[in-house]
Structure 1
């Protein structure tokens, strides 16, 4: 029976008591129910993700008395920007932000460069046991930052790079590089070697071939590595806390603790700082989403 005939089926036959409830609906009705259910599920997931960000924002614009009430409301009764004023003009938040941005730029640059060169080399050069080596890279991804912090602190102390940008950059790169290198190794496997061979026949060097042929095609993978290394650096707490203990070298994740005192927790300023620290992650992903999505459609790569 066609879908149109199913829609015209007599209601008396469709709603017999022995017919399963789902089968009593026509095909178009079933499709509508499935679509509405999918949108409802996506809406629930989106609400779950965005609600913490919303709660941070409304808490940051509440007066202190409203934050400490026993019956918080979804909408603030009074809105004030005094918390952001104190954050920018009466705290070291801008210094924390500056330190975070400097370290993040270094981590993204070093990680992306090493992962791209390493991934390309693993797929284009004849390296003994290269598959075993590439898969073993993920073994380094298993170690959490807390396990590496103390050995790094001892080594970094001997090298004299404690409380320095370069020391924290190298430490966070060590966290981000294993998975980033594995991503680029897998991605370069999808780049046809025949394209590079054609360029080599035309007289291009190996380096020029990589720059002009392989890297433009691998742009989505490079962006993915950049976003991942950005997230690692921006959100890391353990390594900055141990390797950058000086108050003048705090990043955002460690600097937020400055808004707690012995008997007082300044929730308004903590939420304001956390909200502002969360925005760059959303904006960074939004700005580069087209490069990530182009990885699913070869016609968009270029």
Structure 2
């Protein structure tokens, strides 16, 4: 912009008073936003991936390099000694088997219960069913530590303390509220007209559910199965409170056997942790398509 000061015309630039962001063109702003998005994305991924990277790096690191200063990100040499040690430990294999038994029991019980409950809440004429379906989700908001002591007292009276049945029921009680809500939301996306057509053709209510609604609910059931598996497999509080015998401990508790009062076998701890997350990684990797479909149909994400 030009001004006449009596001594000739001078150019005056007012851009110094304008924020830098407003000085950019539309394309420049879009590029800046895109760069900022990717920086934030990769920063978040780094925060998530680095602990996993460090776990595997420590699991393959020889004991002699465990406490060198400075600690290198990658071990100078690779060893499988830590994996061989825990895989030849009969107690570790027992812990692994215990986790598998409990996780499968929780997955089966939660999936069946939430599927039947979600179907009933959407198809049957139950008083206050919407209020019940919405309020049951509050049960998932309570941390397990608040439920541990009351559940221990109740389970003790039932005589299921230190049993697989007791732990499966406890883990199912934790994962069921969210699973039931998810299946309730999912069955709302299944057209009722398809079941009505099957019933008109002579099918019973159960046949319409089993042959029509259940196959269409498979993504939601898989999402529930993955969720309940993750809750059970990673649980620490309930096994610590309910399981007394060491021979019945799951992996999350059994990994303590690699720690002593004056020493922690970090190589074995990290090797055990790597083997703990492996089934979850494989489970989610092969079922991620159904998992995303189930969560999206349930109104999540």
Flag whether TM exceeds 0.5 (same fold). Answer: yes
Alignment partners' CA distance in 1, 2:291 and 2:171: 23
Alignment partners' CA distance in 1, 2:16 and 2:131: 61
Q: Deviations over 1:202-238 (max 9, x none)?
A: 2121111112221222222211111110111001111
State how many pairs are aligned: 284
How far residue 153 of structure 1 moved from its aligned partner, in angstroms, is 2.1
Q: Deviations over 1:87-112 (max 9, x none)?
A: 11135211111110111000000001
Alignment partners' CA distance in 1, 2:154 and 2:25: 69
SS of corresponding position for 2:263: coil
Aligned 1:22-61 pairs, distance under 5 A: 22=21, 27-61=26-60
Residue number in structure 1 paired with 2:218: 219
How far residue 55 of structure 1 moved from its aligned partner, in angstroms, is 0.4
Structure number with larger C-alpha Rg: 2
SS of corresponding position for 1:288: helix
Structure 2 runs not aligned, ≥5 long: 1-14
SS of corresponding position for 1:47: helix
How far residue 41 of structure 1 moved from its aligned partner, in angstroms, is 2.3
Residue number in structure 1 paired with 2:154: 155
Alignment partners' CA distance in 1, 2:28 and 2:278: 41
Residue number in structure 2 paired with 1:186: 185
Alignment partners' CA distance in 2, 1:112 and 1:87: 32
SS of corresponding position for 2:137: helix
Structure 1 runs not aligned, ≥5 long: 1-15
**Residues 282 and 168 from structure 1, CA distance in 2 versus in 1: closer, same or farther, beyond 3 angstroms?**
same
Alignment partners' CA distance in 1, 2:163 and 2:294: 37
Alignment partners' CA distance in 1, 2:229 and 2:61: 31
**Residues 242 and 294 from structure 1, CA distance in 2 versus in 1: closer, same or farther, beyond 3 angstroms?**
closer
Residue number in structure 2 paired with 1:255: 254
Alignment partners' CA distance in 2, 1:47 and 1:157: 45
**Residues 111 and 295 from structure 1, CA distance in 2 versus in 1: closer, same or farther, beyond 3 angstroms?**
closer
Residue number in structure 2 paired with 1:98: 97
Residue number in structure 2 paired with 1:173: 172
Aligned 1:1-302 pairs, distance under 5 A: 21-22=20-21, 27-90=26-89, 92-295=91-294
How far residue 284 of structure 1 moved from its aligned partner, in angstroms, is 1.3
CA RMSD of aligned residues (A): 2.2
How far residue 54 of structure 1 moved from its aligned partner, in angstroms, is 0.8
How far residue 17 of structure 1 moved from its aligned partner, in angstroms, is 6.4
TM-score, normalization: structure 2? Answer: 0.87
